[in-house]
Structure 1
């Protein structure tokens, strides 16, 4: 069996030639798409990320930035009764303690106000919605996001976001991919 030859670049260039080629490419991209379309990451410096602490120090440390990043979509995933809603409610409480406004879209229709209060949530200030369908839940979330006045929105839970067609349909009707399509459209719209 023949041994393979080591891989070599198609054209051998010096580091100066390589740097000049990169600079020329960046200059062309800047002309075509505007200054800053491509840059070296080190040129920008570190952009601070605003976070909402989860209330779980170990989780905040594991996330690497001290909590949940503001202005981003974060999915908390885990088995049933593993503490997803508890983590979300702690984040709501921390956002409220920092003077923020929070909303809770209770698609499961299962939020316990007493439990939320025990976790530090100001339930009098908490905006809550118990939508009739997945579409309604996601449209409400989108409107709240676009208001620019909400610091954190919890949607509990993705599994409970049942599409209107499934609610209105008959038992046994096929609704393959409806929820996936609903989520895909909503996430594209919200980001």
Structure 2
């Protein structure tokens, strides 16, 4: 897996896969990108791959794992011989409540004030897993979700960090009875996400389809196909 070592000349984080052609070079720093899709569509695999890619360059990647599913063995697979270097450059947080998730984001924002020059990536995987199981009233939950997303947007812009937010989906029916897949979090996540990518499973084993749903300068609807492998994505 070839890694582009110098991100300073490029405002994007490349993946060296077809995802780069979808985004004209890679994931933008200074921007919140939302990746949504059903279970096993590749959201966490893509997030982990990005974290390892950044860590290999010597930069820090912050990974907030809200589902407790981050796999050290999977990181070892992707990192290969660079695991020791990678492990030192990935900071993992594992909140157990939606309130704690917000507290983690606040603590990370404070840490970045002094360490942003060494950090390229902030991943929140997933933004709504704890939101969906919290027993707070929906109005308070939505207010807290908006507050958290606002902080993530500020982090991206203030510290030139690529913020990647993964998101879950639900099935909704329109007025004509047609089934439509929608991202959880509604207009709140949609408002703060300047780039939105939908992931789906393909027809072949380990094949995934990425569709660009929103971008400030690239036409929507663009699609690419990629595969999940033992060493990441290709």
Q: TM-score range by the shorter chain?
A: 0.5 to 0.7
Instruction: Considering Cα pairs closer than 8 Å and 6+ residues apart, tell me whether 1 or 2 has the greater RCO.
Output: 2
Q: Secondary structure at the match of 2:22?
A: helix
Q: Which has the higher helix share?
A: 1
CA distance in 1, matches of 2:32, 2:106: 12
1:35 match: none
State the 4+ residue runs in structure 1 displaced beyond 4 angstroms. Answer: none
Question: Which residue in the other structure is 1:135 paired with?
Answer: 99
CA shift at 1:84, angstroms?
0.5
1:125 corresponds to which of 69, 80, 89: 89
Aligned-pair distance for 1:165? 6.0
| CA–CA distance in structure 1, aligned partners of residues 90 and 60 of structure 2 | 7
Instruction: Kindly indicate whether the alpha-carbon contact (under 8 Å) linking 1:54 and 1:87 is maintained by their aligned counterparts in 2.
Output: no
Aligned partner of residue 96 in structure 1, secondary structure: helix
Q: Secondary structure at the match of 2:103?
A: helix
Per-residue Cα deviation, 1:61-90 (whole angstroms, up to 9, x for no partner):
1112x1111122111111111000111111
Unaligned runs of 5+ in 2: 1-8, 155-234
Distance, in Å, in 1 between the alignment partners of 2:34 and 2:48 is: 14
Following TM superposition, by how much is the alpha carbon of 1:128 offset from its aligned partner in structure 2, in angstroms?
0.9
Cα 1:142–1:53 shift into 2, 3 Å: farther
CA contact (8 A) 1:54 1:88 kept: no
The alpha-carbon distance between structure 1 residues 177 and 117, as it changes in their structure 2 partners (threshold 3 A), is farther
Q: Residue 81 of structure 1: which of 31, 40, 57 is its match?
A: 40
**Structure 1 gap segments, 5+ residues each:** 1-47, 170-174
Report the counterpart of residue 114 of structure 1 in structure 2: 73
Instruction: Report the Cα offset of residue 151 of structure 1.
Output: 1.7
Equivalents in 2 of 1:60, 1:142: separation in Å? Answer: 31
Task: Name the TM-score, length of structure 2 as normaliser.
Answer: 0.51
Equivalents in 1 of 2:67, 2:37: separation in Å?
A: 16
> Secondary structure, in 3 states, of the residue corresponding to 2:89?
coil
Shift of 1:138: 2.8
Distance (Å, rounded) in 1 between the aligned partners of 2:138 and 2:132? 11
1:59 alignment counterpart: 19
Structure showing greater radius of gyration is: 1
What is the CA-CA distance between 1:124 and the residue it aligns to?
4.0
Distance 1:179 1:73, change over 3 A: same
TM-score (norm 1): 0.62
